[in-house]
Each structure stands twice: as structure tokens, then as C-alpha cells.
Amino acid sequence: GLQTVPRALQTVAVEPAPGEELQPLRGAAGAIAKNMNASVSIPLATSQRIIPVKVIEENRQLINHHRGLLGKGKISYTHIIGWAVVKAVQANPSLNHAFTENNGEPCRILRKEINPGIAVDVAAKGGGRSLMVPNVKNAGSLDFARYAAAFDDLVNRARTGKLATADFQGTTVSLTNPGTVGTMASMPRLMVGQGAIIAVGAMDYPAEYRGVTQEVRSMLGISKVMSVTCTYDHRVIQGAESGAFL
């Protein structure tokens, strides 16, 4: 039969020093730990591009001006980037594939629906942070307005503790945006059963131009950029496919 979960990985036990305490990882924290252990079984590769963001900024301003006239909430950069991921996967469907084994034979899972997982950073009980990655179901069949509504619903329910198990099931490709906390580039871990995870960094001017005046940047045509990485399962996705997706 199909095998999608790798064999248990040995974990090296670290003995606490005198005076140190052990805090069990339960709930979401425990699930993250188990998923990270399992992700070690995936042979990963990463592609990266630096992308100008001027068009994204302008489109977001236009969209939000229109939504403001209609009394609707604002669209974030992550909304637009997530929509771009869906469209890019439609043009490069191999990014939506996954690896499995059937009676010991390596196989590719060909998925017809795109279920993008959206990483949501939420406050954990007792302090700290927790990362939840629910997915938008069959996002390729939605128009932008319905996609944005489904996106907002996931984020709201993640932050109010109302997500269900089904919200996490069937993720085919994930998006994480560490740029919201200032990270310039990231190469995240890929979960078992997914083909790729996309990470976007902070939007800013190239470092060598941040100290010059806006007039100089305008004269040189320097715009803000962001780093986009695609970390993928190299068993079913190749570098050329990742590059074409980016």
C-alpha cells in the first residue's frame, strides 16, 4: 500500500543539566516537533530569486482603494503573493506533486487540486509563539475575491482557536512569510506529503542603497525588492521546474 509517512527517526536524547527543567511539547508544539523530525527524511533543494516589488505595491494600492470605497478590509502583500503562488503552480503543475512509495517502488502523486497552506503565527498558551499552516481548499478553482475571503477566514480562525483538523489536511504546497518580522530570506523545512514550500523575505531596498537619499534611488531606478525561495522535494521536482515556477 501507499506509504507517505517515513519510518520513525531516532532522536538523540539530551540529559538536562542540574537545575534545568523539562517542559513537554504537547498539542501544536508537539505536532511541529514530530513534523520537523519527519521532514529530515526529505531530500531537499532550494531555488532563490530576488524580485522587484513595485508592481505588487501599485496593485495593492489600487485594490485597497477600490475595497475602501466598498467598505471592505485591506488586502495584504501575503494575499497577493499567495495568489501569485497559486497561479504559478497552475502554470508549473509539477510543484503540486508529492513523493510516495507503493510496495517499495518510488512514485509521484499527481494532484489536480491546489491546496496552498498559509503559515499563520499565533500566540501560544502560556507564552511563546506557535505556527499553524491551514490550507485554502482547491484555490485554483476560486477567483481572487473568494480566495481572499477564504484566506481571511483561515487566519481569523487560527487566531481564535477555531481551526478544525480538516483545515490542515491535504496541503499540497505551502507559503510562509517571515518577511513580516524583518527576515530577508529563509529556507524553511518541507513537510512530508508536500512538494514545495515558498518563503518570502522582507520588502526593502537592496542593502547597498538603503543609506542613500530617495532622490539618488529615483535617479538610478532602484526599487524595493524581496527574496523568494522555493524549497522542494528533489525526488519529484527538479531545479529547472523550480526555477520556472519562480
Question: Cα torsion for 177, 181, 186, 189, to the nearest 10°?
Answer: -70
CA distance 122 to 32: 14
Give the residue among 228, 229, 179 at the shortest CA–CA distance from 204: 179
CA distance 242 to 123: 33
CA distance 38 to 47: 22
Give the residue among 206, 208, 212, 207 at the shortest CA–CA distance from 224: 206
- The alpha carbon of 104 is separated from its chain's Cα centroid by a whole number of angstroms, namely 30
CA distance 43 to 59: 37
CB 218 within 8 A of CB 196: no
Can 234 be counted among the known catalytic residues?
A: yes
Beta bridge partners of 174: 117, 197
Q: Strands of 116-118's sheet, edge to edge?
A: 44-52, 225-233, 196-200, 173-176, 116-118
Active-site residue list: 234
